[in-house]
Amino acid sequence: MSHSEIVATHNGMGWTSVVPNQITCEWLDYIRESQEHPLRVLDIGAGFGVATIPALKGGARVIANDIETSHLDAIRKEASDLGYEDHLESVVGRFPGDLAFTGLDSIHCSNVPSFPPWRGDRCRSHTHAFVAEKRRQGLHSGRHDLRRTH
């Protein structure tokens, strides 16, 4: 990844990429290729919308989540400029504790565990607990996302 592809976050907690990584690309492929439209998806750690905006363009209804309000404001503005404001919901909150959603078709969470307060075993523990809870709610674990089984 080149330096031009990395942008500092507004809250100073880290960085985000303006170019989709492999996980994000596979998630976006899933959205585009899905026979179920519109999908209802959650983008955890949405940053400046590197996954959210293409997901909207792919026909999904997106819940963008981030801990920084100004990131979500930027996403809302871009979605509005593109005519997708009715397909976007934004939620300020921390992963995993502040998130409680039902009826999701897929969850995208890429690069989020790299930043405080989640590191190492604590991060894995929170992520496994979050995935286990989503499975109990009727989602199963795909390679990089959680998908409904029915």
pLDDT one-digit tens code per residue, 12-33: 666 667 778 888 899 999 999 9
pLDDT tens per residue across span 116-149: 454 444 444 444 455 555 555 554 333 333 333 3
**Structural domain boundaries enclosing 97:** 3-141
* Chain mean position to CA 61: 12
Residue identified by tokens 């031009």 is: 4
CATH number at 41 reads: 3.40.50.150
Q: Cis bond leading into 113, ω under 30°? A: no
Which contiguous run of DSSP H or E holds residue 64? strand 61-66
Q: Which of 14-28, 54-68, 83-97, 132-146 has the highest mean pLDDT?
A: 54-68
H or E, element range at 124? helix 120-136
User: Considering the domain boundaries, does residue 146 fall inside one?
Assistant: no
**Number of domains present in the structure of the chain:** 1
